[in-house]
Structure 1
Amino acid sequence: MILSVRKTLATASLLLASLGALTGCASAPTVADYARETPVMDMKEYFNGTVDAWGMFQDRSGKVVKRFTVLMKCHWDGDVGTLDEDFSYSDGTREKRVWTIRKEGNRYVGTAADVKGQALGEGAGNAFNFKYTLLLPVDGTVYEVQFDDWLYRMDERTVLNRAVMSKFGFTLGAVTLSFRKRD
């Protein structure tokens, strides 16, 4: 009987350790994971001047449902930046978003007319992560969707961006962008 209990406990311990290892592998990345990567993603330095971007939105199945370009005019006054974005979609529609971003120590706080509350961001190494709720109009209804937005500095002029969009914890789709800073 004692041997059976020990075997059961040993099996349970092995299962818990295995589940812990799997859970650890499945954990979400943090900006600290990129702290040693270069070049450094300095928001104030990169998003200063004119930046062009090319992007697409994919639904949760992976199908590309929208393609677009963005012209960004960016400038900073001390620790407050303005990112003025003009979107042009492949279907001919246009959209504008103006971000106001404040650097507060190692963190950034952003606001825009179609963002509920504040976007909260932090960076380390070549990565920057912004989390926010976007007010997304669809067929006359405005939906609140969460964005987990990651930017990765590739070189002096290039940043790649992947943002996952979700609602109630379910992934709705993803936005992929390539930014290119003008000389």
Structure 2
Amino acid sequence: MQSPSVSAVVAGPIRLLWLLFAVWLLAGCAGASLDDYADREPVLIPAQFFTGELSARGVVKDYTGTVIRTFDADISASWDNDGTGTLDEVFRFDDGEVQTRTWTLTPVDDGYRATAGDVVEPGLMQWRGNAIHMNYVLRLAYGDGTLDVRMDDWMYLVTPDTLINETTLSKWGIDVGEIVLVIQKR
């Protein structure tokens, strides 16, 4: 019986790796674009929707899609004369945890630069039609330490007073959870 050559043994796994790499590249190109929503209504203008008092209710899902937490939130939003927005958020989770976050939305050429105390990589908030997209890195409490997680945030205005927000959480390019919430103007 003749044993296969080393090059033949290595060639199979290398081809498989190239195939997996090509599939990964194609999957990365398949996402939605803000331009897909440019003609959708009602038109979402952040400085108009995020003004005054808002409330939110939502769920946190793990990597399997199982709901692991629920929450409600109050959001107080205001804008300075220079166009800078502030969103003060208070989240109350079903396990008793309370989180606060203050977003600062600073106007830049193509949207808003979005920062907060636990955001370690600021986001760029952009919008078209009825949608907003923002991608940033959030530092979360995890065990005795912290974990930095990429947040891919999509918001859709469905009525002038109601917005649906879907956020995919990922670490090292792998989806690890999802947050879905509804935000309503009061």
TM over 0.5: yes
User: Structure 1: how far apart are the matches of 2:155 and 2:77?
Assistant: 16
Say which SS state the counterpart of residue 45 (structure 1) adopts. helix
Report the equivalent of 2:68.
65
TM-score, with normalisation over the residues of structure 2? 0.83
TM-score, with normalisation over the residues of structure 1? 0.84
Could you tell me which amino acid in structure 2 is paired with residue 102 of structure 1? Answer: T
User: Structure 1: how far apart are the matches of 2:110 and 2:185?
Assistant: 23
Could you tell me which amino acid in structure 2 is paired with residue 133 of structure 1? Answer: V
Report the equivalent of 2:3.
none
User: Structure 2: how far apart are the matches of 1:110 and 1:159?
Assistant: 18
Q: Is the CA contact (8 Å cut-off) linking 2:60 and 2:178 kept in structure 1?
A: yes
Q: 1:123 to 1:63 in 2, by over 3 A?
A: same
Could you tell me which amino acid in structure 1 is paired with residue 127 of structure 2? Answer: G
Match of 1:27 among 25, 30, 41: 30
Q: Write the deviation string for residues 43-82 of structure 1: whole angstroms up to 9, x where unpaired.
A: 1000000000001100011110010001000000131000
Match of 2:112 among 108, 111, 115: 108
Q: What percentage of residue pairs aligned between the two structures are identical?
A: 32
User: Structure 2: how far apart are the matches of 1:25 and 1:144?
Assistant: 21
User: Structure 1: how far apart are the matches of 2:96 and 2:32?
Assistant: 36
Q: Is the CA contact (8 Å cut-off) linking 2:121 and 2:138 kept in structure 1?
A: no
Could you tell me which amino acid in structure 1 is paired with residue 55 of structure 2? Answer: D
Q: Kindly tell me the number of residue pairs found equivalent between the two proteins.
A: 163
User: Structure 1: how far apart are the matches of 2:137 and 2:79?
Assistant: 24
Report the equivalent of 1:136.
140
Give the unaligned 5+ runs of structure 2. 1-21
Q: 1:47 and 2:63 equivalent?
A: no
Give the unaligned 5+ runs of structure 1. 1-18
Match of 2:88 among 79, 84, 91: 84
Q: Is the CA contact (8 Å cut-off) linking 1:74 and 1:82 kept in structure 2?
A: yes
